Structure 1
Amino acid sequence: MEFKNYYLDLIMIPLSFIISISYNLWLWHKVRTEPLSTVIGANAHGRRLWVSTIMKDNDKKNILAIQTIRNTIMGSTLMATTSIVLCCGLAAVVSSSYSVKTPLNNTIYGAHGQFMVALKYVTLLVIFLFSFMCHSLSIRFISQVNFLINCPEDSTIVTSTYVSELLEKSFMLGMIGNRLFYSALPVMLWIFGPVLVFLCSSTMVPVLYNLDFLFENSKNGKMMA
């Protein structure tokens, strides 16, 4: 194992992971300390108001609640299904006796030996597996909300606050599953070399930043995504 064949992977792959993890940790800190400056915090606040409104006027809005939750379950189910299908495909590739690295050996930078190719596919497999697990847990919590949101609000246990917490757990797990799914894109590019991984991770951070934060429009004083 010669270092000259692996130094790009040893430098750029950890840097790419550090960039992605650092951004998401900073985003989590902002959500906890300044929630209304982020799309995640603003949406969470809106969902709490929605649950409270639905449970106060349950007789008239129970159908709306069920339809909204059903659409959310369908979205999580789609992501969970996609993740597990990709897991099955990657598991088949890893266990296959066919050498997938042969056509790429002379066209990419970085390490492309048998061990490195297996490591790349196993890393992708683990990411998709955790994404599937997060989406599955998200479906579990949202299914509980589906029943509890139609309970009378005067219950001492099943209150709008309790239902809101279950709903937030579901959306948080769904968000984590989506972030894991997105992080698989740079790892997938690792098959073609570590340089693309670093470029993709560096590009994704400003894109996600513009999607995750609310910006104040100085002209009209409104908040814009």
Structure 2
Amino acid sequence: MGWQWKEQHLDLILVPLGFFIMCIYHAFLLYRYLTCRELTAIGYENHNKKAWVEKMLLLDSKDRGFAVAVLNGHLSASTSLSSISLVLCSLIGALLGNSNNFLTSSFILGDTSRSTSTIKYISILSCFLLAFACFVQTTRHFVHGSFLISMPTGDVPVECIQKAVLRGSNFWAVGLRALYFATTLLLWIFGPIPMFVGSVATVMILYFLDINKEPMIVYGNSTNGDHHGGRILKKIEQGFTSVVHEVFEHNGRQ
């Protein structure tokens, strides 16, 4: 007997193809970030965050409450997403342990066997676990950055704080990518065709979101700002001295 086409073969073709498209796009995004990071949204945001850390360190330690509040906002977001990922992992684990497969109805075009369903749930569970781990690391680095940026003495090098903030941002980006992969794999529960269509649509949307057409913002040098502030203070001091001198002269004449 010759080879016969079956609905189960859709999973063997469309699912690896959709997953391959997602992987190829993110490999291209990583290469573009490493070579021309100014053309990516991630590189543009990291550039602004590095400048933000430099500007915040120009303030006194007692005036950096706004910077700590900004980092606490990122901490709240990463904590919420890590909690959501962990809850979804528990839910998928419960579905995986349930012997009753409630998605084997006839409207699913593809393989509905028990082994394929197990592979689906394990793949989704892996993506959510990766997202949870990345968001936990995001929280860790932002907490460390909050400690460093609120140091009273101000002896912490700016590179250390920038490294902590950028690492937290990079783990945040990886965690979001893991959620994107989990979303497309969730569509696989309803069949290989929705999964493939979702992968193509996700790549098209992410391409327009990840590209950066804005030029990099050129921030002023901190040393120039110090010289400018010093000139202003010097002018104020000279004006105050001249006023005091005139007052003393006027009192002496009287």
- TM-score, with length taken from structure 1: 0.89
Say if 2:125 is the partner of 1:133. no
Preserved CA contact (<8 Å) 1:101 1:114:
no
Structure 1 equivalent of residue 114 of structure 2:
114
Structure 1 residue runs of 5 or longer lacking an equivalent are 217-221
Task: Choose the corresponding residue for 2:12, options 10, 20, 24.
Answer: 10
Cα shift readout 1:100-143 (whole Å, capped 9, x = no counterpart): 234x2x11111111111111111111110111011001101110
SS at match of 1:97: coil
What do the CA deviations read for 1:7-45 (whole angstroms, capped 9, x no partner)? 111111111111111111111111111111111101101
State the partner residue of 1:219: none
Does 2:153 align with 1:146?
no
Partners of 2:78 and 2:18 in 1: how far apart?
27
CA displacement at 1:58 relative to structure 2: 3.1
Question: Secondary structure in 2 aligned to 1:99?
Answer: coil
Q: Alpha-carbon deviation of 1:98?
A: 2.3
The answer (yes or no) to whether the contact 1:58–1:150 under 8 Å persists in 2 is: no
Distance 1:202 1:183 in 2: 12
Provide closer, same or farther for how the CA distance between residues 24 and 153 of structure 1 changes in structure 2, counting only shifts above 3 A: farther
Gaps of 5+ in 2: 217-254
- Which amino acid counterpart does residue 210 of structure 2 have in structure 1? D
Question: 1:31 is aligned with what amino acid?
Answer: Y
Conservation of the 8 A alpha-carbon contact between 1:6 and 1:110: yes
Deviation at 1:152, TM superposition (A): 6.1
Q: Shift in Å at residue 5 of structure 1? A: 3.8
Partner of 2:246: none
Question: What is the aligned partner in structure 2 of residue 88 from structure 1?
Answer: 90
**Displacement of 1:3:** 6.8
CA distance in 1, matches of 2:77, 2:63: 22
Number of corresponding residues: 213
Q: Give 3-state SS (helix, strand or coil) of 1:4's partner.
A: coil
Task: Give the counterpart of 1:162 among 144, 160, 181.
Answer: 160
Aligned residues of 1:55 and 1:152 also touching (Cα < 8 A): no
Contact kept? 2:61, 2:152, Cα under 8 Å: no
Name the % identity: 30
